[in-house]
Amino acid sequence: MSTIEHLRPKGLFNNPAYSHAVVASGARTIYVSGQVSMDENGAVVGVGDLAAQTTQALRNLGLALDAAGATFADVVKITTYVVNYAPEHRAIIGKARAPFFAGGEPPASTLLGVSALAVPDWLIEIEAVAMVG
């Protein structure tokens, strides 16, 4: 039986968007490659629209998780890369991300600004680690 424990240590700011640490035990680990805003035909979804691209990248992440027998509830760590990140992007990404993690504890999370991704029209890439029993 696997367990996932989300820690909110005293002395650290309690941000509802992420957990400071996640402890997973007795589980199978799933590493999901960075997902971007492409449909199943390889076309970019939401060119120039960070919210639309975030939603599509998370949909793709969900498909990869499902293929491995996992859900967003099993995600213990998420890393988000944003092209030309500016502080106002955080609210856009958070709003698009919220429905995917609704009703559960948020994973450990890192948000990084980058100068570019592999394709010029991509604005965001999201990778995850999940644990299932």
Residue 93: CB atoms within 10 Å: 24
> Is the pLDDT score of 2 beyond 90?
no
Spatial neighbors of 107 by CB under 8 A, at least 6 apart, are 6, 18, 19, 22, 75, 76, 77, 78, 101, 128
- Helix H or strand E segment including 51: helix 50-67
Would residue 19 count as lying in a domain?
no
Q: What would the pLDDT profile of 56-90 be if each residue is shown by its tens digit?
A: 999 999 999 999 999 999 999 999 999 999 999 99
pLDDT of residue 70: 92
Spatial neighbors of 5 by CB under 8 A, at least 6 apart, are 22, 23, 24
- 76 is in which domain, residue-wise? 3-10+28-132
14 confidence band (pLDDT: 50, 70, 90): confident
pTM: 0.87
CATH number for position 61: 3.30.1330.40
Domain count, the chain: 1
